[in-house]
């Protein structure tokens, strides 16, 4: 008997390595090279062209010489099954290296947890992930975002049954997100947690402001919430947080200067002066998301542009860039390091903000209108099919719907989309002309 137990234990021990070898490594970071493509696949939250825009801003400024292509494939109202229908034309066509997937808000049907609903989501998401794998792309799965019940409860027009149905919906989304994380782990895919930071920051802010929300309609995060999402995605793919670093130290009455992610020239060893050309610009976003940028400390976390000077005589010093004083700092502050990414007086800030604003125009004038066309296409197909699941609003549309007119519109759809993609490309060309870092002259002088 003892010999049999020993043999059994030996067999179990030998079986463990074989079983463990089947697990895949978790995707830790992504590698985007020149001409690689990222597709942002999602529902109306992606269709808003905000978190996607802010992620684009990061890559435009952090890697100005690397032409990465971005395609927004968000369609309002989409569930996982809808992404399968348009996959070939809206995802595979662009030959992506990575596909971010933010689907789930609509799949729970805005009600309490039901196994049948969840199983449908699971089935269609599994098909979607298999499709992404089949085109040799890697998925980056993102949890559904936060359903903020508080603004829903404050809305006077909500009827009681609707309030009751939605009361636990944020918890339902948490469950969906847990399954998404499990899929990312099992398949070795990328993963970004959108749910946690939105809920955590909302809770923190409500300690002082009980009516605080970043999701005014309970579902769609505004610009501040979408900045939280962009930062979460960048952090979870381990994006590089450093713009540039300049270190200056005194040695034998001479000033020695060292820089990371940039080039130094015309260095003065007797006084603190040099020309510096960074490889990157700071990551900035339009003012619409300024609060989100501030409360997440996004600049420090993902856009550090640092200058550090040690061994200065006690006192205050002016930092001058291109002859303009951008700030006055004590020797202690300079020794600890000054972060410049949010300093509106620097020429780098001005240049990076122009990039962000031009990309905002690209999204507002080309990408969002293109996504609107995809919504029209989907609604038209639903009306054409006479779906039994049409809501009251769609029923009203059905009464006015003309199948012949829709067919004529649909025939023009590819050209309309192509025209907007062309416009987006033209604006992106301008971004890549604008985003190249320039040489700047630095001086540190006594403020006396």
Q: What digits encode the pLDDT tens for the residues 90-138?
A: 999 999 999 999 999 999 999 999 999 999 999 999 999 999 999 999 9
Whole-prediction pTM value?
0.91
Same domain for 401 and 277, yes or no, is yes
Which residues make Cβ contacts (< 8 Å) with residue 285, sequence separation at least 6? 53, 54, 57, 227, 230, 293, 356
20, 429, 51: which is closest to 230 by C-alpha? 51
Name the pLDDT band for 2 (thresholds 50, 70, 90). Answer: low
Within-domain flag for 16? no
Report the share of the chain in percent with pLDDT over 70: 90
Instruction: Give the confidence band of 426 by pLDDT, cuts at 50, 70, 90.
Output: very high
Token readout for 197 is 């930071």
Q: Is residue 17 part of a domain?
A: no
Q: Are 264 and 155 in the same domain?
A: no
pLDDT computed for residue 386 by the predictor: 73
Pairing of strands 254-260, 242-251: antiparallel
Q: How far apart are CA 191 and CA 335, in angstroms?
A: 38
- Together in a domain, 81 and 230: yes
Residue after which a domain boundary falls, among 183, 206, 239: 239
- Examine the domain organization and report whether 165 and 295 are in the same domain: no
CB 283 within 8 A of CB 58: yes
Q: 167 and 145 share a domain?
A: yes
Residues 261 and 394 in one domain: yes
Q: Look at residue 23 in the predicted model and tell me its pLDDT.
A: 75
Band of residue 164 on the pLDDT scale cut at 50, 70, 90: low
Three-state SS at 385: helix
Same domain, residue pair 178 and 251: no
Q: Is the same domain home to 190 and 297? A: no
Instruction: Please give the residue range of the domain that contains residue 443.
Output: 242-448
pLDDT of residue 19: 47
* pLDDT greater at residue 18 or residue 303: 303
- Say what the pLDDT of residue 252 is: 84
Residue 120 located in a structural domain:
yes
Q: How many domains does the chain have?
A: 2
Q: Does 330 or 382 have the greater pLDDT score?
A: 330
Q: Are residues 110 and 251 in the same domain?
A: no
Residue 7 placed within a domain: no
Which CATH number goes with the domain that contains 115?
Answer: 3.40.50.1110
Mean pLDDT of 314-318: 96
Residues 250 and 223 both lie in one domain? no
Question: Residue 390's pLDDT band (boundaries 50, 70, 90)?
Answer: low
What's the pLDDT at 167? Answer: 84
> Is 60 exceeded by the pLDDT of residue 298?
yes
């Amino acid at each position: 008997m003892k010999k049999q137990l020993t043999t059994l234990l030996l067999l179990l021990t030998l079986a463990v390595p074989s079983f463990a070898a089947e697990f895949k490594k978790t995707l830790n970071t992504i590698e985007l090279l020149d001409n690689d493509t990222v597709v942002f696949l999602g529902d109306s939250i992606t269709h808003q062209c905000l978190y996607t825009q802010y992620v684009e801003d990061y890559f435009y400024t952090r890697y100005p010489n690397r032409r990465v292509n971005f395609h927004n494939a968000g369609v309002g109202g989409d569930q996982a099954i809808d992404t399968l229908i348009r996959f070939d034309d809206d995802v595979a066509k662009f030959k992506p290296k990575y596909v971010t997937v933010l689907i789930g808000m609509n799949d729970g049907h805005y009600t309490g947890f039901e196994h049948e609903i969840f199983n449908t989501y699971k089935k269609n998401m599994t098909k979607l992930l298999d499709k992404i794998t089949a085109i040799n792309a890697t998925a980056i799965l993102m949890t559904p975002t936060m359903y903020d019940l508080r603004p829903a409860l404050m809305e006077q027009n909500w009827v009681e049954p609707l309030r009751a149905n939605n009361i636990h919906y944020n918890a339902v989304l948490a469950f969906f997100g847990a399954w998404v994380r499990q899929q990312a782990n099992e398949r070795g895919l990328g993963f970004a947690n959108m749910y946690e930071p939105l809920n955590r920051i909302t809770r923190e802010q409500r300690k002082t402001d009980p009516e605080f929300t970043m999701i005014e309609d309970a579902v769609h995060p505004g610009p501040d919430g979408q900045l939280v999402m962009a930062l979460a995605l960048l952090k979870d793919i381990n994006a590089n947080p450093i713009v540039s670093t300049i270190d200056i130290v005194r040695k034998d009455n001479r000033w020695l200067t060292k820089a990371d992610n940039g080039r130094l020239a015309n260095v003065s060893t007797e006084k603190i002066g040099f020309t510096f050309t960074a490889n990157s610009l700071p990551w900035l976003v339009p003012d619409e998301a300024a609060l989100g940028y501030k409360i997440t400390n996004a600049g420090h976390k993902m856009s550090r542009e640092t200058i550090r000077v040690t061994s200065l005589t006690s006192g205050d010093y002016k930092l001058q860039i291109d002859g303009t004083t951008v700030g006055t700092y004590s020797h202690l502050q300079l020794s600890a390091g000054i972060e410049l990414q949010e300093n509106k007086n620097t020429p780098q800030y001005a240049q990076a903000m122009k990039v962000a604003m031009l990309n905002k125009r690209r999204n507002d004038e080309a990408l969002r209108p293109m996504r609107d066309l995809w919504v029209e296409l989907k609604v038209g197909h639903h009306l054409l099919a006479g779906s039994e699941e049409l809501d009251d609003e769609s029923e009203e549309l059905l009464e006015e719907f003309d199948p012949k007119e829709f067919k004529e519109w649909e025939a023009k759809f590819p050209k309309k989309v192509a025209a907007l993609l062309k416009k987006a490309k033209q604006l992106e060309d301008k971004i890549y002309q604008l985003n190249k870092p320039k040489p700047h002259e630095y001086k540190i002088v006594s403020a006396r």
